Amino acid sequence: MANNEVQGKSLWNYALRKLLRHSAGIVGIILVSVLTLTAVFADALSFFDPTTQILEYSTKPAGFSGNILLKRNPAREEVPIYLAIEQYSLKNDTVFYTELTGIKKTIPIKQMWGDNESDWYITPTYYLGTDNFGRDLLSRILHGARISLVVGVVSVIISLIIGIILGSLAGYFRGWVDGIIQYIITVVWSYPTILLAILFSSLLKSVDDLFGFTLDAFWQTFIVIGITGWVEIARIVRGQFFSLREMEYVEATKAFGFSSFRTIFVHILPNAFGPIIVVATAGIATAIVTEASLSFLGLGIQKPTPSWGILIQEGYGFIQAGLNWGLTVFPCLAMGLAVYGFNLLGDGLRDALDPKSVQR
């Protein structure tokens, strides 16, 4: 047992070293790391909350600089009121300012946000411009990275659970069990993923109406993508089990009287993790695209949550009109880099974990 454990560790270490020498894999690691860090630190990297609206600054171009006063909000103490201005001056305990319409107004300084001038007067730069509600596009894209990563990871976990269970049972027991599972795989495989996702999304909404409860849009998206993305995983696991179940150590587990459950999930499945990891990595990229497609169609994450699909849908009309093309292009570019990163990482993992490429 000790020798097997050492051998297992050496193979994984070899795969890691090979991945770190794989140029495409390195680029994938960098892109995925940037996406992960962006998702984790989106609040710190964003100048504004992604839902903050300053209507006076709607559809501003990239690089636009604002001129804003922050006023206390009696209705919500934790959120200020944003006032877009041309200029302001401070005299005694009063702030004199001019609105963008040219109207001059005053505010007692005690009603301003914060304790000093640096708190209630800001001149932010909208590096990617603003949307039609005056929301900072960069902040919304950064928070959209969090949505996409969470949806991708959680939906792939759901797909892994379904795919591993069905693939393991089909590959281990074969016979009529394999026949039934193969029939289910064939039926699901025959439908395009996005159409199947739309079908399940509609069914979940109907279930909500039928039973009188509302399933959160996040969980609807997780479940929809998860139950449409397990087929490839099940096929890979089934194929792995077909070969692994003939190994001598599997015959030894039967001789010791171990249960089928223990043989499948304790002894065989760990030896099939390599291909599963590769498929799961590529599955995250597919889940990101599927989530964006559903959100674009209004069936996934709902407004005002800043999903990349929603951002593309909101900016689509502007690019058709030839106005403010960045509202569509920048979210598309962010999603493209994320998907490209996971695909490159998957290619690197595939080559690193391929036993045929191991050179001794």
Beta bridge partners of 90: 95
**Would you kindly state where each structural domain of the chain is located, as residue ranges?**
2-42+137-357, 67-123
Residue 359 has pLDDT above 60, yes or no: no
CA distances to 62, 145, 178, 181 from 186, rounded to whole Å, are 48, 33, 12, 9
Q: Taking 80 as the threshold, does the pLDDT of residue 214 lie above it?
A: no
CATH architecture of residue range(s) 2-42+137-357: Orthogonal Bundle (1.10)
* 135: pLDDT strictly greater than 70: yes
Q: What is the pTM of this model?
A: 0.85
d(CA 12, CA 35): 25
Helix, strand, or coil here: 340?
Answer: helix
In this predicted structure, what is the pLDDT of residue 215? 58
pLDDT of residue 3: 47
**What burial class does residue 355 get, using C-beta atoms within 10 Å of its C-beta: 0-12 exposed, 13-18 middle, 19+ buried?**
exposed
Confidence bin at 210 (pLDDT 50/70/90): low
Evaluate if residue 209 carries a pLDDT over 70. Answer: no
Mean pLDDT of 90-95: 88
- Chain segment 231-275, per-residue pLDDT in tens: 999 999 999 888 888 888 888 887 888 888 888 888 888 888 888
Say how far apart CA 194 and CA 181 lie, in whole Å.
22
pLDDT tens-digit profile of 263-317? 888 888 888 888 898 899 989 999 999 889 888 888 888 888 888 999 998 888 8
Mean pLDDT of 40-69: 90
For residue 137, the surrounding DSSP H or E stretch is helix 137-173
Query: For a pLDDT cut of 70, what percent of the chain falls above it?
Result: 91
